Structure formats: structure tokens, C-alpha cells
Chain A
């Protein structure tokens, strides 16, 4: 299997800088991404970390200063016309002319790509917009605007869907709807690349993730790999937490107080904790594995510092952003 067969999107040392009044700002810095074919790939990072710029470069809207991009093996932006038929994208908020109805906007786009006439009704149906299809875009709710944008991407029957912050501004029902739609599209065999700074929602739907900060890749892999590499923790309830902490620490485990409980890190086998404590006549009344969430991993990777928009050159601290984690070096499946 070649790289082109295995990965829908591959970027290598991608770099983009913007000139600002204060100097040059590096938006994307040596970013090497690999988005596997099929499934949902979460592209995560705080606001200003370079996600949208990267997506714009993938779509040929923004020109990279350096690096290479391949989509389904085609070099972008040079060969974009050859591959664009397989790519549907929503960049930031959905953008259509406000006075046009949803149906009119879709019809014009369908004409542009020679999609069959009936396709507009199909995608309106698929995104539950048929009843409001003739209303002006300006009269749509945020959720409906987002669904119209997804409908537009589906006109092409794309193999790769790129959604940039698709749930921004949506209510919980809208978020659930978009998440379900993304999952369904992936289950149909398509590749969905979704960027977000709301990690919890991506964690629920993504198969693989890449985490970026200040334009750099911090970690990538399956969700399980990215979370798993950082281990988990076990919450321990015991009558004498102070003595139990001493016992476990002496056994080489990392122990933190968690209210009237202990949080033990670095031990994936809870049975050993029970055994260690029982030997000292400390009888456990709670032993709960605490799975590390993607959000926890993200915060750990970013170490609580802002990894959003970096300052212009000259203001950057020595060493720049956080160094890539081992998960990044490990790569995806």
C-alpha cells in the first residue's frame, strides 16, 4: 500500500508566515500531517494555532511559504483542479450570498461542477433543509447555515470532507447533529478532517487526531494512542490516605491527593495497588480507573500556556512553542 492509498492528506514541513504591522507572524511552522483514509480525523488546537491557515493551504486558498501538500497523492495547489472533485470543504463560517435562498446557492454550485439537477434535492434532504430550502440564507439559524454548507460539500459526493470548526456557535442540539453527520459520513467510507478547539466534541467522534499549537504539531495518532501514551490514573479510596500515599510512593508510583481520595498515576494495573496497600493492612474501599481525556492530554501538551497565535518574530521566547511529544514522533497508524 502506498502513502497515497493510505493517507488522504499528507503535508510535509508546511510553513506560512503573515506580515503584520509588528513584524512577521508565523502561523504554521514545519507542520507535517498525515490524515488516514477513512474515518474522522480531529485537527485540534487552540484558537490561532494555525488550523484554519493549514486548511486554507490544503484548499489552495492560501499559498504556503514552504513545504509540500498532497491530497490523495496529488500535489496541491498545482494539481488541485484534478483532485478538487473529491474534496468538499467548509472553511470557518459558512459563506453564501445573504439574499440567495439555500436552494439557489446550491443550484449555482451544482451547475459549476456539473452535478445532476436532482442532487440538490438529495443533499437538502440529507441535511434536513428541504422545508426551508427556499428561504433566504440570511434568515437561517446558525445550525441551518452550517447544514447548508455541509449540503454544499456533499454535492460533489466527496471522498474527503474538510470541516473547519463546524460547531462554532451551535446549540447542543446543533452540535449533536453535526457530530452525527460527520460520523455517518465517515461510516460511509469517506474521510472527514475536522478542526476544532473544543476537544470534548471531537473526542467523541474522531478516530485519529493531530494536536497543534503555535503552528506546530504536538501529537498525532489514534485517540487511544494519544491518550494512552499519557497513561491513565486510578482513584483510590482508603481509610488512611496519608499512610497509603507513602506506601505507594515508596513503590515508585506518582500519588496526588484528590479530595479525600488519592489519584495514582503511572500504574495501569489497579490490582497491584490493592496488593501493595493490603500488605500494609490498608484496605481499599474504592478503586476507580480514571481514563485520561483528550482534553487532559491537550492541556498537558500545551502545559497551560497559550499556544494560540504566536507573537511576531522578535517577540518569541527562546525555543518557541512546546516541543513535539513522543506521540508526534510515533505518527499515526
Chain B
């Protein structure tokens, strides 16, 4: 019944349309990168390649000699070995001037992952507004005069948001998958879509759909907690700026617990983040980037804890709060 109540809202339809619009934009961008080169582009590339080759044949030896000389000078200045990569210099290769279209087999999961964040945010908005509208319009108080068991009401609304979020996310992701396949097939850029690739895609889709359901439920809980859609979305935006963007970049230790790391780790089945370790030497400050892996399990645990905290706080507050 709660599910029917959410589905009957016009906003759900609007969000579906917004999701489809976002997918259309993504597909338009993908179309550009998957499109084969036109005759004019090929002609231009050939001209550029011929020019570069001619330049190398005429000046290649001198370029290498200049490089070695600058490398030697730098080495004397710094007092240590310096490698400018002069030995790797060689004639230009033809493929440098003929960029290959992106093949779906290589970009399928990253494309799904990058678009999923937007889709999940839209589903979150549905969750928030499904309950916040009831709180701000006062229809929650009408509801409670019929069903005064507050925890039952809260969790039925959260559950309904999950049940709406799951199929909605599935619908949007399937449209995205079909669109990506269609766009790449039309441009003959599917690549080698092996069973392994499809398995990866299937798992990714499953995780995105589950995330959509969970996020819709969390949105519904936040709608009850904060009572206004605008306030809830504002709090989330504020959190994204203050914690995810500012604190996240200042405090490296927060990285594995950030939502963006967690969501990427969950969707892609694991992720990583970079930590810069800087040391001061006689030659100045030297920084070295280290990649730290984040497992799927770790992302799952952070997600579960975050969801439990939001639901727990909402339940505690809603249990005792005066309802206007």
C-alpha cells in the first residue's frame, strides 16, 4: 500500500524522466567517443603523421643530441642521476595519429559506474521526498491518527521506498546498458564482449540496483528525520562539500570511509585511493603517491554501518518527537 502511495506521486514520474534524460546525455557523449573517424579526420591524421615523420627524419638526430645535452646539464646541477628518457626517442608511430574508438568491452563497467552515481542520487531524491512531503504537508499526523505505532509506520515507509527504489534503479540501469550496447553496436565498437565481461556487467548492475534500493530507504529515513525535502537535500549537499570534498582531501585517513570511495568500491567490486607521502630531502620536498586498495567487503561494511546509523537515529528521534 505504501508502495502504491509513492508510485502514485507525480515526482516519481519526473525523476524517471530526469533519469532517462541523464542517460540520453551519457549516451550522446558515448556516441561521440565511439564513432569511427570520418574521411576528413583520416586525411588530416595522415597529413599530420607525414609531417611529423618528415620532421623526425630531418631533425631527429639533433633532437636526441639536444635532449642528452640538457639531461647532462641537469645532472650536473642537481648532483645526481637524471633521466630525460632521451633513449626512448624515436620516429613517430602511425597509430598515434589515428585514435581508436573506445570499445565497449573495455569501458563497459567504468561507464556504468560513473553514470550509476547520478542515477542513485535521483532515486535517493525519491526516497527523501516520499516521506518529507508527508512530514511537511502534515499528512503524517493524519496517518498516525490511523496507525499510531510509529516504528511500524517508519519502517513501512522506509521499506516502501526500498521496494520502489529497486525496480526503478533496475529500469534505469537496464536502459543504460541497452543504450550503451546500441550506441557501440551502431559504431561497430563493441569489442570482444566475452562471457567474462558480461559477468562483470551483471554483477555491477546487481550491485547498482541494490545500492539504489538502499539509498531510497536511507532517503526516506532522512525525509522523516529532517521533515523537508529541501532541508534533507541541503544537508546531503552540505555533507558532500564539507566532509567528502574538503575534509576528505585534508584528512587522508578519512578516504576509505568517504561515501564516494564506499559507493565506488561497492559498485565496482573494490576500488583504490591515492595517498601522497612526502619527505624532505636535500633536493627539496619529494612526494610519492601510493595506491591503497579498498575491498568490496570493506565498502560493504562502511555502507552497512552508515545505513544503520541513519536508520537508528531516525527511529530514536521519530519515536519521541512531537508530530505537527
Interface residues of A (CB under 8 A from B): 56, 59-63, 77, 80-81, 84, 87-89, 91-100, 104, 108-109, 111-113, 149, 152, 156
Contacts and interface: CB of A to CB of B under 8 A. Distances in A.
B11 to A, nearest CB: 9
A98 B142 contact: no
A63 B146 CA distance: 17
Interface in B1-39: 1, 4-5, 8-10
B9 to A, nearest CB: 7
A329 B142 CA distance: 34
Contact of B323 (A62, A100, A149): A62
A88 to B, nearest CB: 8
Contacts of A89: 145
**Which secondary structure characterizes the binding site on chain A?**
loop
A95 B148 contact: no
Contact of B134 (A87, A92, A97, A152): A97
Contacts of B142: 91, 94-96, 109, 149, 152
B4 A95 contact: no
B145 A91 contact: yes
Nearest to A91: B141
Nearest to A52: B324
11 contacts: A56-B322, A61-B324, A63-B322, A80-B148, A84-B147, A91-B141, A92-B138, A95-B139, A108-B5, A109-B142, A149-B142
Nearest to A83: B148
B322 A98 contact: no
Nearest to B145: A89
Interface of B: 1, 4-5, 8-10, 133-134, 137-139, 141-149, 320, 322-324
A112 B140 CA distance: 13
* Central interface residue in B9, B141, B142, B145, by most chain A CB within 10 Å: B145
A151 to B, nearest CB: 12
A108 B320 contact: no
A104 B8 contact: yes
B316 to A, nearest CB: 14
Contacts of B320: 63
A100 B8 contact: yes
Given A84-B148, A152-B142, A108 B137 contact: no
B146 A60 contact: no
A89 B143 CA distance: 10
Contacts of A108: 1, 4-5
A112 B146 contact: yes
Contact of B9 (A56, A87, A99, A156): A99
B137 A98 contact: yes
What 6 A-B pairs are tightest by C-beta distance, nearest first?
A95-B138, A80-B148, A62-B322, A111-B1, A61-B323, A95-B139
B9 A84 contact: no
A136 B146 CA distance: 21
A96 B139 CA distance: 5
A80 B148 CA distance: 7
Contacts of B137: 95-98
* Central interface residue in A94, A97, A104, by most chain B CB within 10 Å: A97
A61 B319 CA distance: 10
A61 B146 contact: no
A63 B148 CA distance: 13
Contacts of B9: 97, 99
A97 B139 contact: yes
A59 B143 CA distance: 11
Given A97-B133, A97-B137, A77 B148 contact: yes
Contacts of A93: 138
B141 A61 contact: yes
Contacts of B141: 56, 59, 61, 91, 95
Given A99-B10, A100-B8, 6 more contacts: A61-B323, A62-B323, A94-B142, A96-B142, A97-B137, A109-B146
Contacts of A59: 141, 144-145, 148
A81 B8 contact: no
Nearest to B137: A95
Nearest to A104: B8
Contacts of B8: 99-100, 104
Contacts of A62: 322-323
A91 B323 CA distance: 11
A60 B322 contact: no
Contact of A60 (B134, B139, B148): B148
A237 B66 CA distance: 127
B322 A61 contact: yes
* Central interface residue in B4, B9, B142, B323, by most chain A CB within 10 Å: B142
A92 to B, nearest CB: 8
A61 B5 contact: no
B323 A87 contact: no
Contacts of A88: 145
B142 to A, nearest CB: 5
Contact of B148 (A81, A91, A104, A152): A81
A99 B142 CA distance: 16
Nearest to B153: A112
Contacts of B143: 109, 112
B319 to A, nearest CB: 10
